[in-house]
Amino acid sequence: MTEKTDTPLVHLNGISKHFGEGDTRVDALRDVSLDIFPKQVIALLGPSGSGKTTLLNVIGCILIPSAGSMELDGKKIVQDGIWLPGDLRRLRLEKIGFIFQFHNLLPFLDATDNVALVLKLAGVDIATARKRAIELLDYLEVGHRKHAMPAKLSGGEAQRVAIARALANRPRIILADEPTAALDSKRAGIVMDLLRKIAMEQNAAIIAVTHDEKIFDRFDLIFHLRDGKLEKAIAGNEFTAEIV
């Protein structure tokens, strides 16, 4: 298991999230408190409707929690249903990288420009953005495909390009929603090994929602949610529970 530092990258205190009111109210998260540290690779596991994706979206500053507080990289982001920073788009660009089950690459841009686009949105000039994109593709061992269009990439190659895109702005917090579900066992293992390498070398935290049994041993901790409550944490190499 990865040794944790003293200061968490993600600090959740009493986070709750509900949708609707009265008879239609649904409590998606209930009093979730959680610390995630640099260099940790964490999984969120639970049955459908347990709150996994809601929690990921709260950490990603996409959904505002109904109650509780959250700090990211030492800065308080939300308190009792109020966003504290003024520019959430800038916050997401600077602090958070997103990886999804399907790569969602833009089909009309090659691999380099798919990665560089994130940097351009952040105000980086084109030449610098493309240089950074190529460096990342090389780092993820897919630099030889830098001019390839998404339709010409294999599933594993496309996912590596998507990871490069998520890393473009050097985020400390990387959120992954079923990042290996569309990959076979070998490619899934390669992707997870790359994410661990990123966590170690960039002092980042990886938080993934997954049901993929073949990668459980790649996580430091697996947090189980049920009915919006955080039930327990188990070391990835000790996790043998049946998937529900």
Q: What is the pLDDT of residues 177-208, one digit of tens each?
A: 888 777 778 878 887 888 888 899 889 999 99
Give CA angle at 175 (76, 13), nearest 5°: 35
> What is residue 1's DSSP assignment?
-
pLDDT for residue 241 is more than 60? no
Least reliable range by pLDDT among 72-76, 85-89, 97-101, 120-124: 85-89
> What is residue 39's DSSP assignment?
T
* pLDDT confidence tier of residue 243, bands split at 50, 70 and 90: very low
Give the pairing of strands 10-19 and 26-36.
antiparallel
Contacts of 69 (CB under 8 A, 6+ apart): 12, 13, 14, 15, 76, 78, 79, 80
What is residue 108's predicted lDDT score, i.e. its pLDDT?
Answer: 95
Q: What is the Cβ-side half-sphere exposure of residue 100, based on CA atoms within 13 angstroms?
A: 7
> What is residue 51's DSSP assignment?
S
What is residue 3's predicted lDDT score, i.e. its pLDDT?
Answer: 52
Average pLDDT over residues 223-238: 81
> What is residue 178's DSSP assignment?
S
Average pLDDT over residues 135-159: 90
What is residue 236's predicted lDDT score, i.e. its pLDDT?
Answer: 65
* pLDDT confidence tier of residue 239, bands split at 50, 70 and 90: low
Taking the model in full, what pTM does it have?
Answer: 0.84
Instruction: Give the percent of the chain with pLDDT over 90.
Output: 41
pLDDT for residue 144 is more than 90? yes
Helices and strands, counts by H and E, the chain: 6, 11
C-alpha 142/C-alpha 42 separation (Å) is 25
Average pLDDT over residues 20-32: 88
Secondary structure of the chain: what % helix, strand, coil (to 5)? 35, 25, 35
Task: Kindly tell me the sign of the dihedral angle through the C-alpha atoms of 160, 189, 200, 243.
Answer: positive
At 96-115, the pLDDT tens digits run: 988 877 778 999 999 999 99
Pinpoint the alpha helices (H) of 37-184: 52-59, 88-95, 111-121, 126-139, 155-167
Mean of pLDDT over the chain = 86
Q: How many other β-carbons are positioned within 10 Å of the β-carbon of residue 187?
A: 17
The SS3 call for residue 219 is coil
pLDDT for residue 242 is more than 50? no
pLDDT for residue 41 is more than 90? yes
* pLDDT confidence tier of residue 30, bands split at 50, 70 and 90: very high
Domain 38-64+87-238 sits in CATH at 3.40.50.300
pLDDT for residue 59 is more than 60? yes
Average pLDDT over residues 160-165: 89
